[in-house]
Structure 1
Amino acid sequence: MHQLILNDVLPPALLEQVRKVLASAHFNDGKDSATGLARAAKHNLQLPQQEHAALLDAIAQRLFELPELQAFAMPLHVGRPLINRFEPGMAYGLHSDSAYLNGVRGDVAYTLFLEDPASYEGGELQILSRGQTYQFKLSAGSLLLYPCGDLHQVLPVTRGVRHAAVGWIQSQIRDADQRELIAKLKAVPLYIGQEERYRDLAIQTNECIQRLIRMWGN
């Protein structure tokens, strides 16, 4: 599975700070940050990044520190997020993310949901991956990670307002399949390494993991 959901990733104080900003801030046209075909597909509003840089950087730093994100994405860099606003009638049609965003290669995309899903209708994040369609509408403070190369869209909001922070991660490992294999292997020494009889096996497994990272890393 190339997708990962993490719940309650923001401390309550930071989530409350985000909500206060969302309640009073001015939002720009979301097309301002879109390029190519994505520009025509994007119909939403966006919190000005420079104006709220400190808050957005605090979100990125919090995500970078999550052990589960470290294991899954193996990040070199967690990009400063954009906070998007979708009002009734707004949507973001099917598109793919740019390979490089602000000079950083996008390997893993993230969406941090910021609203109670019962407070709005529509607005599901739909991802097309390996011939399957996945749909997500998560609770406030929940994070979704998925490969940047997957086609995706935000379905039209029909009631209420949808806010979400989106961003991109450059990984130590470019390929999603290779990241998944390493993440799964990392769990082995964590569990068996606690027992003395498996200590040598845990050491050898960790050796294999480090060799794979050297082989596949960039």
Structure 2
Amino acid sequence: MLIHVPQLLTLDKINECRKILEVAPWVDGKTTAGHQSAELKNNLQLPPDCEESLFLGQTISQALKSNPTAFSASLPKTILPPMFNCYQNSGHFGNHIDNAIRHHSLTNTYMRTDVSCTVFLTNPDEYEGGELIIEDTYGTHSVKLPAGDAILYPSTSLHQVTPVTRGARISSFFWIQSFIQSDAQRRMMFELDQSIQSLTQQLGNNHDDVVKLTGLYHNLLRQWSDM
């Protein structure tokens, strides 16, 4: 399930992020990659434990938790602190699938990666190339979104970032362990939640059908959730 989340970050937050990132301590992205990824990766990245990365990561994590669409689509149990990368001068990241298990440095625990998220911090007209290409059971999708928008997709997906031939593509990326591991079940829960929200606007919170569907949603969540 690919979900486009428009304006996850407000314009003020985007400008704040970009101002901080202009003077941040960027390093070669290979220093934070695994053995296989390092061979495919050609970009710059912020050290995950630097002050700028931690501060901006909190901003983005809070934005995701506060956004109804993003929260409903991911049902986040654990959010890995967001990281930041920059692609320029033909920088790219070849086809790969994200690691299934990642270390959460702030809690010194490990988490399963169910949902991957990219938040774009530069607009499409600021660079050429740099499309996020995602392959899933429904085909191949090319993603290049306005600054502040986010894309959520299953971490099981094969994906890549094409070479940036002009300008710079700056984004945040991170992973979520969902309360529901199955992408198919998350999709059904998301569609059910969207229907409930639509019916609530039409009929009100106390309508019998809204109450019944809300009960169904929470009973399915009890049955499928990974606690």
**Equivalent position of 1:72 in the other structure:** 73
**Equivalent position of 1:206 in the other structure:** 214
1:64 CA drift (Å): 1.6
Q: Is the deviation greater in 114-123 or in 23-32?
A: 23-32
**Equivalent position of 1:86 in the other structure:** 87
How many residues align structurally? 217
Q: Is the deviation greater in 151-160 or in 54-63?
A: 54-63
SS in 2 for 1:55: helix
SS in 2 for 1:160: strand
**Equivalent position of 2:107 in the other structure:** none
TM-score, normalised to structure 2, is: 0.89
Q: State the identity as a percent.
A: 33
Give 5+ residue unaligned stretches, structure 1.
Answer: none
The answer on whether the counterparts of 1:120 and 1:162 sit within 8 Å (CA) in structure 2 is yes
Q: Deviations over 1:48-86 (max 9, x none)?
A: 222221222222112121111111111112221111011
1:110 maps onto 2:117 in alignment: yes
Correspondence for 2:141 among 121, 134, 154: 134
Report 1:1-218 matches (<5 A).
Answer: 2-51=1-50, 52=52, 53-102=54-103, 103-130=110-137, 132-193=139-200, 195=203, 199-218=207-226
Q: Deviations over 1:175-200 (max 9, x none)?
A: 0110110111123333334537x822
Q: Deviations over 1:7-30 (max 9, x none)?
A: 222133321121112222221111
The two structures, once aligned, show a CA RMSD in angstroms of 1.8
The answer on whether the counterparts of 1:61 and 1:78 sit within 8 Å (CA) in structure 2 is no
- What code does the residue aligned with 1:70 have? F
TM-score, normalised to structure 1, is: 0.93
- What code does the residue aligned with 1:216 have? W
Task: Measure, in 2, the Cα distance between the counterparts of 1:131 and 1:11.
Answer: 31
SS in 2 for 1:140: coil
